């Protein structure tokens, strides 16, 4: 059976607010909280209501090929878009939640147009220079957030493929840093790489196993 294409909201008007009527409504999302390695990458997107993009959805529901196609359309048709990031060492320093907030802040700050309102996927929002609303499951409900999730996912996946060449043996191009069986076996065999998050338990344990004994 063919899956029905979702009809995502172009504006958000839950309980009379959330940016309804804003002509510059930014969707914000991040990817990369769960991996053991690599950055957290966030995106902010202000869609153009005059240039709709068919097929936007939560990036996790889309194939890699479909994400790439939609990402190209978003970059071409959006009024504005930008990326933000937090590296693995920052995740270790301030924890992954705060690093995610920082990446989203940087994405919004990098937008070439100042948004009137931001809709952020999840149940909390970072400190932003505009009013903001958290939308639980927003990447499957609001078009601008879906667009942000797609750009962030495509950008991070491409970076993990590039990092695979710099740090061979871990399989980053395949699992993108997530704790797959292949990745855990490589960690056990090789120990952490420079892009691993040392505060995450599997990495911390692998580092301890590979620490030289006195």
For residue 16, pLDDT over 50 is answered with no
72 shares its domain with 140: yes
159, 83 Cβ separation under 8 angstroms: no
For residue 62, pLDDT over 60 is answered with yes
pTM: 0.91
| CATH code: domain of residue 97 | 3.30.420.10
Average pLDDT value for residue range 93-97: 98
Can you give the residue range of the structural domain that contains 178? 166-210
6 falls within a domain: no
50 shares its domain with 68: yes
pLDDT-based confidence at 100, cuts 50/70/90?
very high
56 shares its domain with 117: yes
107 shares its domain with 38: yes
137 shares its domain with 72: yes
For residue 11, pLDDT over 80 is answered with no
Average per-residue pLDDT in the chain? 92
Average pLDDT value for residue range 125-144: 96
For residue 35, pLDDT over 70 is answered with yes
What is the number of domains present in the chain?
2
pLDDT at 7: 61
204 falls within a domain: yes
The rounded distance, in Å, linking the Cα atoms of 209 and 168 is: 20
Query: What is the tens place of the pLDDT at every residue in 157-203?
Result: 999 999 999 999 999 999 999 999 999 999 999 999 999 999 999 99
> In the structure, how many helices (H) and strands (E) does the chain have?
7, 5
Please provide the DSSP assignment of 163-209 as one string.
HHHHSTTS-HHHHTTS--HHHHHHHHHH---TTB-TTSHHHHHHHHH
149 shares its domain with 199: no
């Amino acid at each position: 059976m063919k899956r029905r294409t979702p009809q995502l909201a172009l504006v958000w008007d839950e309980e009379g607010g959330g940016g309804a009527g804003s002509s510059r409504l930014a969707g914000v999302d991040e990817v990369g909280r769960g991996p053991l390695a690599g950055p957290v990458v966030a995106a902010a997107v202000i869609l153009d209501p005059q240039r709709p993009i068919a097929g936007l959805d939560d990036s996790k529901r889309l194939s890699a090929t479909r994400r790439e196609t939609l990402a190209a359309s978003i970059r071409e048709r959006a009024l504005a878009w930008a990326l933000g990031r937090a590296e693995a060492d920052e995740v270790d320093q301030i924890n992954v939640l705060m690093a995610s907030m920082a990446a989203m802040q940087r994405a919004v700050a990098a937008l070439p147009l100042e948004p009137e309102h931001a809709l952020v996927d999840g149940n909390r929002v970072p400190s932003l220079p505009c009013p903001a609303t958290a939308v639980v499951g927003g990447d499957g409900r609001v078009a601008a957030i879906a667009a942000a999730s797609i750009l962030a996912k495509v950008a991070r996946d491409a970076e993990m493929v590039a990092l695979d060449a710099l740090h061979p043996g871990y399989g980053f191009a395949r699992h993108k840093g997530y704790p797959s069986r292949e990745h855990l076996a490589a960690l056990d065999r090789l120990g952490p790489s420079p892009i691993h998050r040392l505060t995450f338990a599997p990495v911390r344990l692998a580092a301890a196993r590979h620490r030289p004994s006195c």
